[in-house]
């Protein structure tokens, strides 16, 4: 399994891009509930005073709303803005917000580069938080597992398509999880957080393999996955939160055939997307 788009070599006519956390691997909820949110309190300890309110707010933004699966740094800014909107006093995060709004890549390496240029204390705290998140995730142990029917769905797709993981999670963590559960054998390339945005990764993979637009599909559970597919004009298949196993069965038994036979476009995809969007209301 390659971890650089430049090393990817096309071998099939179709390309299927798959998100990891919350889509293929059942780790999204536990990572946010035990790692992302609590790490904010570790780095900004005054939030401890409103711990329950903050963690509820964090989980709503990142798990149970239209911003599910948003980039971690965007989620951080959104959570601080939401606290302010509720009347809570929040430590100045204007530099973090400016970086999030202007950076080409929202990742630890990109943040380190900006800190090297500016020595900004707010950005240093953001990096401290992101590193703390990764430490807590590493300490979780064996809590990760694929959703039921993921392996079968990937195996079926791999008969027709090159498979790429396109994730906003830490590359090393994703590689470990997929290898541990023997899913990596279906994957040609892994594009993690460090590779760039999901939209960019799909575009780069599509261009690298010269895949026609109608032969590329993104599988995901978050609105950001849908948007990345729309940005590139490719198809989207939703894994519905709370119905992950059923979604993977449907992919294997119905959606995959529609995709490779040219019947995915139009009413079929629109029906799937409506079901997905209704599930997050």
If pLDDT is split at 50, 70 and 90, which confidence band does 264 have?
very high
Domains with residue ranges and CATH for the chain: 5-26+146-279 (3.40.50.1000), 28-139 (no CATH)
If pLDDT is split at 50, 70 and 90, which confidence band does 193 have?
confident
SS (H, E, C) the chain: CECCHHHCCCCCCEEEEECCECCCECCHHHHHHHHHHHHHHHHCHHHHHHHHHHHHHHHHHHHCCCCCCCCHHHHHHHHHHHHHHCCCCCCCCHHHHHHHHHCCCCCHHHHHHHHHHHCCHHHHHHHHHHHHHHHHHHHCCCCCCECCCHHHHHHHHHCCEEEEEECCCCHHHHHHHHHHCCCHHHCCEEECHHHCCHHHHHHHHHHHHCCCHHHEEEEECCHHHHHHHHHHCCEEEECCCCCHHHHHHHHHHHHHHHHHCCCCCCHHHHHHHHHHHHHCC
List, for residues 15-28, the tens digit of each pLDDT value: 999 999 999 999 88
pLDDT at residue number 28: 86
List, for residues 131-174, the tens digit of each pLDDT value: 999 999 889 877 789 999 999 999 999 999 999 999 988 899 89
């Amino acid at each position: 399994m390659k971890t650089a788009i430049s090393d990817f070599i096309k071998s099939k006519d179709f390309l299927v891009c798959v998100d990891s956390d919350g889509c293929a691997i059942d780790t999204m909820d536990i990572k946010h509930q035990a790692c992302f949110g609590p790490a904010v309190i570790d780095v900004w300890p005054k939030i401890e005073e409103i711990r329950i309110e903050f963690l509820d707010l964090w989980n709503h933004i990142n798990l149970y709303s239209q911003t599910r699966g948003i980039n971690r740094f965007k989620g951080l800014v959104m959570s601080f803005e939401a606290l302010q909107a509720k009347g809570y006093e929040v430590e100045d995060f204007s530099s973090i917000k400016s970086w999030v709004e202007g950076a080409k890549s929202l990742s630890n390496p990109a943040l380190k580069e900006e800190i090297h240029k500016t020595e900004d204390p707010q950005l240093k705290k953001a990096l401290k938080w992101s590193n703390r998140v990764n430490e807590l995730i590493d300490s979780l142990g064996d809590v990760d597992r694929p959703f039921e029917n993921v392996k079968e769905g990937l195996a079926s797709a791999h008969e027709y398509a090159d498979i790429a993981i396109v994730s906003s999670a830490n590359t090393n963590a994703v590689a470990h999880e997929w290898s541990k559960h023997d899913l990596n054998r279906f994957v040609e390339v892994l594009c993690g957080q460090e590779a760039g945005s999901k939209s960019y990764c799909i575009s780069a993979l599509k261009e690298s393999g010269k895949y026609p637009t109608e032969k590329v599909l993104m599988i995901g559970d978050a609105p950001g996955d849908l948007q990345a597919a729309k940005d590139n004009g490719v198809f989207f298949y939703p894994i519905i939160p709370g119905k992950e196993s059923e979604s993977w069965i449907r992919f294997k038994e119905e959606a995959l055939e529609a995709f490779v036979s040219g019947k995915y476009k139009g009413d079929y995809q629109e029906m799937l997307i409506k079901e997905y969007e209704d599930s997050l209301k």
